[in-house]
């Protein structure tokens, strides 16, 4: 994979991911796209605008990814989200801890990347601790806890005649429909429900910024699947095996930011290690920051920002550590599972997302209760 013959595909995937993330960062900054913010808006104000934008992005990503699947352009079954072993406890606990962490830190990994581009030194510190925690969960002390206590609690879906975690395969198994028809029906029903929830609100329908934001952000997730799963899928000239180029998971990927922060930290610390290279995930994390920076500079919104107080620092750092552990344990964050994972219709992604939202809601309600009691 290091040979000159492999370089064109690697370069295309890296630059393609960077460009997609530039757009993702700029649009997220423009529309104030933030899953934690969306949950907070609903819990604290009963306002569903940003939540509907997020649901619209999910619907677009889900439709687009599965159109690619049905057209034979990508194989979502090869992604990490669709493994036949369902580590439900890791997904649920990791998701819940990530939800708690992002609420304490005032935003998920993606939001902190966007804020960093806008001049937030606070987000730089948060992201550094997310990277350290996620790396410890991949290869360090936290990883021992994850591997010993959480990951072994799993369900082998092969025992039930399922080849992977795809919801379409589950529908096919219990209805007797052919796999393609079951997937089409599942996508149609899921997309119809999401789009109804999104567009039933007139205020959202008449908000072009949020509508366009949801459409484009979802489409960028689809483009990521196509880039790594089709364009970047080819023969390794050294082994003559067909591989996915420039991805950390060695299979197709789309937008996700917790694991890539760990790999970015590893690359920076071990720069002279010739076995380490830039990857699609690292390129996208960098792209989001620079996309947000470009938007902030173009609109004169760039502002240096620090921590408000020592209490704020403590809360943010605790949240960062929980996000790092939870994001790796749950195989993704609000973007990695909430958009990318859900677009594959993986059962585990729904479990992880339920944990993220549940953890966030519980934390926000606790914060409100504590402030009301103290104030």
Give the tens place of pLDDT for each residue, 167-197: 999 999 999 999 999 999 999 999 999 999 9
Of residues 23 and 1, which shows the higher confidence score?
23
What's the rounded Cα separation, in Å, for the pair 192 and 338?
18
Whether the per-residue pLDDT at 5 is higher than 70: the answer is: no
The pLDDT-based confidence of 7 (bands split at 50, 70, 90) is confident
As a whole number, mean pLDDT of residues 264-292 equals 97
Q: Given this model, what pLDDT does residue 1 score?
A: 40
Q: What mean pLDDT is predicted for residues 53-72?
A: 98
Per-residue pLDDT tens over the stretch 86-125: 999 999 999 999 999 999 999 999 999 999 999 999 999 9
pLDDT band, very low/low/confident/very high, at 374 (cuts 50, 70, 90):
confident
Q: According to the model, what pLDDT value does residue 2 have?
A: 45
Q: How confident is the model at residue 228 (pLDDT cuts 50, 70, 90)?
A: very high
**What pLDDT is stored for residue 4 in this prediction?**
52
240, pLDDT greater than 80: no
CA neighbor of 34 nearest in space, from 55, 56, 54, 61: 54
Q: What is the pLDDT of residue 196?
A: 98
Residue among 329, 326, 332 at smallest CA distance from 349: 332
Separation between Cα atoms, residue 14 and residue 51, nearest integer Å: 31
Ordered alpha helix ranges (H), 239-309: 258-269, 280-298
Q: How many residues does this entry show for the chain?
A: 375
Cα–Cα distance for residue pair 87/83, rounded to 1 Å: 9
Q: Please give the C-alpha separations between residue 260 and each of 96, 194, 292, in angstroms, as whole numbers.
A: 20, 29, 18
Give the residues across from 166 on adjacent strands: 346
DSSP label of 158: G
């Amino acid at each position: 994979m290091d040979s000159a013959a492999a370089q064109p595909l690697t370069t295309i995937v890296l630059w393609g991911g960077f460009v997609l993330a530039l757009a993702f960062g700029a649009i997220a900054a423009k529309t104030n796209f933030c899953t934690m913010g969306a949950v907070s808006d609903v819990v604290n104000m009963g306002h569903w605008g940003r939540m509907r934008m997020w649901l619209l992005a999910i619907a677009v990503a889900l439709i687009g990814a599965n159109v690619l699947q049905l057209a034979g352009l990508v194989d979502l079954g090869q992604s990490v989200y669709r493994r036949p072993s369902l580590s439900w406890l890791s997904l649920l606990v990791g998701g819940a801890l990530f939800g708690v962490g992002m609420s304490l830190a005032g935003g998920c990994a993606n939001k902190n990347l966007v804020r960093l581009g806008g001049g937030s030194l606070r987000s730089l510190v948060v992201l550094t601790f997310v990277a350290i925690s996620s790396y410890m969960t991949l290869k360090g002390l936290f990883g021992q806890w994850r591997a010993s206590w959480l990951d072994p609690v799993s369900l082998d879906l092969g025992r039930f005649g399922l080849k992977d975690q795809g919801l379409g395969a589950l529908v096919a198994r219990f209805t007797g429909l052919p796999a393609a028809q079951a997937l089409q029906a599942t996508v149609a029903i899921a997309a119809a429900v999401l789009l109804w929830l999104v567009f039933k609100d007139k205020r959202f329908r008449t908000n072009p910024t949020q509508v366009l934001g949801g459409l484009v952000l979802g489409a960028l997730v689809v483009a990521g699947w196509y880039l790594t799963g089709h364009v970047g899928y080819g023969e390794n000239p050294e082994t003559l095996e067909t591989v996915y180029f420039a991805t950390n998971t060695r299979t197709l990927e789309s937008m996700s930011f917790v694991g890539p922060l760990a790999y970015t930290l590893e690359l920076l610390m071990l720069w002279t290690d010739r076995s380490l290279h830039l990857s699609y995930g690292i390129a996208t994390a960098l792209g989001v920051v620079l996309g947000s920076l470009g938007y902030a500079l173009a609109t004169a919104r760039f502002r240096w920002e620090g921590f408000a107080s020592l209490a704020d620092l403590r809360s943010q750092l605790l949240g960062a550590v929980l996000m790092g552990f939870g994001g790796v344990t749950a195989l993704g964050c609000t973007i990695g599972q909430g958009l990318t994972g859900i677009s594959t219709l993986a059962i585990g992604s729904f479990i992880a997302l339920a944990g993220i939202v549940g953890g966030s809601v519980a934390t926000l309600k606790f914060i409100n209760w504590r402030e009301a009691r103290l104030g």
